[in-house]
Amino acid sequence: NAGVTQTPKFQVLKTGQSMTLQCAQDMNHNSMYWYRQDPGMGLRLIYYSASEGTTDKGEVPNGYNVSRLNKREFSLRLESAAPSQTSVYFCAGGRQGRYTGELFFGEGSRLTVL
């Protein structure tokens, strides 16, 4: 099992360009998440999907859109990239429940916006 796979691992964009970060999981997780991590900081939730067909905003959704294509895939789209979106993006999957909730993370996608 690959776990949670993110592509691309690295990307450089110019301001105003668009791109989509792909995430796929083979762990049969119901919920999937997109976080961003800025230098020396923790993770901030961008969007999450509790189940196939549903998405909800997190703490910092502005400038992003998401698609839960099916149970396995959850993509993050930047329509018009800005330098403030330079960050490392992490996708995660997990099962939800009161006493569960461990997340499994991908290795990250490092995005630089010039």
Partner 1 sequence: SQQGEEDPQALSIQEGENATMNCSYKTSINNLQWYRQNSGRGLVHLILIRSNEREKHSGRLRVTLDTSKKSSSLLITASRAADTASYFCATRPAGNKLTFGGGTRVLVKP
Q: Which of 21, 36, 48, 113 binds partner 1 (CB under 8 A)?
A: 48
Task: Determine which helix (DSSP H) or strand (DSSP E) holds 88, and give its type and residue range.
Answer: strand 87-94
Q: Which of 59, 79, 83, 114 binds partner 1 (CB under 8 A)?
A: 59
Tell me if 106 contacts partner 1 by CB under 8 A: yes
Q: Which of 56, 69, 77, 84 binds partner 1 (CB under 8 A)?
A: 56
Pick 19 or 45: Cβ nearer partner 1: 45
d(CA 108, CA 92): 10
d(CA 50, CA 90): 17
Tell me if 96 contacts partner 1 by CB under 8 A: yes
The residue assigned the tokens 């993370």 is 105
Tell me if 99 contacts partner 1 by CB under 8 A: yes
**CA distances, 77 to each of 21, 40, 104 (Å):** 6, 24, 21
Residues in 5-44 at the binding interface with partner 1, rule: CB under 8 A: 31, 33, 35, 41-44
How many H helices and E strands in the chain?
0, 11
Q: List contacts with partner 1 (CB under 8 A).
A: 4, 31, 33, 35, 41-45, 48, 50, 56, 58-59, 90, 92, 94, 96, 98-108
